[in-house]
Structures are given as C-alpha cells and as structure tokens.
Amino acid sequence: MTGTLAAIGAGLAVIGAGIGIGLIGGKAMEAIARQPEASGDIRSGMILMAAFVEGAALIAIILSIFF
C-alpha cells in the first residue's frame, strides 16, 4: 500500500514539473519569435529555469522513494 501512495506522490510531483517546464518552454518560444536576435540568452535562461523546476520535482520523487 505504501508503494502505491509513493507512486501517486511521484506522479503528482511530475504533473507540477510538467506544467512548469511547459510554461517555461512556451514562453521562451514566444520570446524567441518576438526577438530572434536574443535567442541565445533566452535559451540559456530557459534551460536554467527548467533545471530549477526539475530540481523541485526531483526532490519530491526522491522523498517518495525513501518514505
């Protein structure tokens, strides 16, 4: 039973991260379309932000593995 609950927790964490990364990617694409000359800066900013969001999700997943 604990295993099932942990899996649900991991799934919820991934939903959150998915929404977050989707928003970041979408907005970054919009920004690049608006200002193609700034695409380099936008891309590195996008990857950095996606990494932060992913970090939060990973902490949740690790916690759901251990508890």
Partner 1 sequence: MRQNLKTVVSMHTRFKISFVLVVIIFSWVRVFAQHNHDHHENTHNDHAHEMSDGNSEHQESHGTCGSHDGHAAFDPASTAIHHISDANVYSLLDWIRIPLPTMLYAEDRGWDVFMSNVFEIGHHEDGHQSYNGYVMHEGSVYRVADKTFPQEGSVHLGGFTTESQLIDGKKRDVTYVCYEGNKFPCESRSTWDAGMLGGGVSSFYDFSISKNVLAMLIVSIFLMWIFIKAAKKYKENPHSAPSGTQGILETLFVFIRDEVAIPFIGKDKYMKYIPILMSVFFFILGLNLFGQVPFFGSTNVTGNLTVTMVLAILVALFVNFKGNKHYWQHVFWMPGVPVAVKPLLAVVEVMSLFIKPLTLMLRLAGNISAGHIAILSFIGLIFVFGNSGANLVGSSVGSLVSVPLTMFMMAIELIVAFVQAFVFTILTASYIGAATESHDDHH
Q: Which residues bind partner 1 (CB under 8 A)?
A: 40-41, 44, 47-48, 51-52, 54-56, 58-59, 61-62, 66
Minimum Å gap between C-beta 15 and partner 1 is: 17
Taking CB atoms within 8 Å and a gap of at least 24, the contacts of 17-25 are: 17/53, 17/54, 17/56, 17/57, 20/53, 21/50, 21/53, 21/54, 24/49, 24/50, 24/53, 25/50
Taking the complex as a whole, the smallest distance from the CB of residue 4 to partner 1 amounts, in Å, to 14
CB of 59 to partner 1, least distance (A): 6
